[in-house]
Copies of this chain bind each other. A is one copy, B any other.
Amino acid sequence: MRNFERVSVDAAVAWIDGATHCLGVEPVPLNQVPGRVLGTDIFAAAPIPPVDSAAIDGFAVRAADTIGAGAYNPLALPSVAVVAGEPLPPETDAVVPLDQAESTNGRDVVLVEPLPPATNVDRLGAAADTGALLVAAGTSLLPHHIGLLGLAGFAEVPVFRRPRVRLAIAGAALMRGFDDGNRPMIGAAIERDGGALSESTLAEALAGPDADIALVLGGAGLGRDDGSAAALASAGLLEIHGVALIPGETTGFGRTCAGAPILLLPDPPAACWWSYELFAGRAIRRLGGRDPALPYPAQAVTAAHKIVSAIGSTEICPVRLCRGGKIEPMPGFLETGLRAAVDADGFVIIPEASEGYPEGASIKVYLYRLR
């Protein structure tokens, strides 16, 4: 049996934060940036719109010419048909909506009320002056950010490089066939967190070139199946083996020969999952310039029943929403494994020093779904 000294979850998180720093940025074409994270602040290089433009489809006129128009004094004015977004023609400064104008010959419009200047006009710089901050560094790019960047003339933008994540299967996990959910589960989570996944052998993962982080599934145990931990201790550097986390107790933390962080994730599926969520996912999110926090909406919710936890380990407790928008605990990960995540609405993280929460307490709950 290997030496096994459990550290606190806080200490393990501090190790992660010390071992991972935001990677550099790279330019990427706008149609390939969905879900990427902006690497620098982006400022407007020119005003948006660049000139006074029609805000709607209609007829461009000179506002001064419309003075005096009325129901009893319809004015026929020269005009130019314009399309929303089109620069205003010279000498015009207002746009008559199509349904408020009659144009018998396609050129003149007949107006029955005066138009103030700039009516239905997007003024030069109305959306942004030159130098205005358009999108801030660190923003996970949503479609409307991409639309504004394209409108501002950017064909590509600097985004944080995707962390190269090397994933190795080892130990007992290597022997299993289809009935192994850990690999597709962790692969999906790496994708969610913006990592670029490549699979390799344990030996390649320990060597560590061309990877920003390595993860090993299996062989992180304490007994017979501790091959990954033993190999890391021998070939690289095993700095921590064991965390006061339930589930996830046998997680290992170290360095590959190339100096990259390497994490050993436990084999039992629920332990593998929470070890990923609290440590590996955080590392990948930090490397990629993302918010390191758990990627779930969190809110304060009232406990409908007492929630119990043993002192000495941080415990992840599955919960479900019940009457009145409160939460109640469910059979835990030690009892039903991953099913405790699938059947739950969310989870609570109960700190090491806590025995849990009494009925009626307000608790921070992470929810899997928005609604």
Q: Report A's interface with B, CB cutoff 8 A.
A: 1, 4, 30-31, 33-34, 48, 55, 57-58, 81-86, 98-99, 122, 126-128, 134-135, 141-155, 172, 178-189, 191-192, 221-226, 250, 266-269, 271-273, 293, 296-298, 334-339, 341-342, 368, 370-371
A selection of 12 A-B contacts at a CB cut-off of 8 Å is A31-B188, A33-B184, A34-B192, A58-B223, A83-B225, A84-B225, A134-B339, A142-B368, A144-B273, A150-B182, A154-B178, A297-B297
The 3 nearest A-B residue pairs measured at CB: A150-B181, A147-B185, A57-B223
Residue in contact with A31 in the complex, picked from B141, B187, B335, CB distance below 8 Å: B187
**Copy number in this complex?**
2
A141 to B191, CA, bound (A): 13
The reply to whether A188 and B142 contact each other, CB–CB distance below 8 Å, is: yes
Chain B residues near A250 (CB-CB < 8 A): 57
The reply to whether A184 and B273 contact each other, CB–CB distance below 8 Å, is: no
| Known contacts A172-B86, A221-B84; A342 and B148 CB within 8 A of each other | yes
Chain B residues near A144 (CB-CB < 8 A): 185, 273, 338, 341-342
| Known contacts A83-B172, A336-B126, A371-B297; A273 and B147 CB within 8 A of each other | yes
A180 to B337, CA, bound (A): 49
The reply to whether A188 and B34 contact each other, CB–CB distance below 8 Å, is: yes
The reply to whether A188 and B339 contact each other, CB–CB distance below 8 Å, is: no
A128 to B331, CA, bound (A): 12
Chain B residues near A48 (CB-CB < 8 A): 337, 339
Residue in contact with A151 in the complex, picked from B98, B153, B181, B222, CB distance below 8 Å: B181
The reply to whether B127 and A184 contact each other, CB–CB distance below 8 Å, is: no
Residue in contact with A57 in the complex, picked from B145, B222, B296, B335, CB distance below 8 Å: B222
The reply to whether A147 and B338 contact each other, CB–CB distance below 8 Å, is: yes
Q: Name A141's closest neighbour in chain B (CB-CB).
A: B188
Q: Name A297's closest neighbour in chain B (CB-CB).
A: B370
The reply to whether B4 and A99 contact each other, CB–CB distance below 8 Å, is: yes
Chain B residues near A341 (CB-CB < 8 A): 144, 148
Chain B residues near A30 (CB-CB < 8 A): 181, 184
Chain B residues near A184 (CB-CB < 8 A): 30-31, 33, 146-147, 150
| Known contacts A188-B34, A225-B57, A342-B135; A181 and B336 CB within 8 A of each other | no
The reply to whether A269 and B151 contact each other, CB–CB distance below 8 Å, is: yes
Chain B residues near A81 (CB-CB < 8 A): 223-224
| Known contacts A4-B99, A172-B86, A337-B127; A146 and B297 CB within 8 A of each other | no
A325 to B111, CA, bound (A): 47
Interface centre among A82, A142, A297, A298 (most CB of B within 10 A): A142
Interface centre among A4, A98, A272 (most CB of B within 10 A): A98
Give A355 Cβ to nearest chain B Cβ, in Å: 21
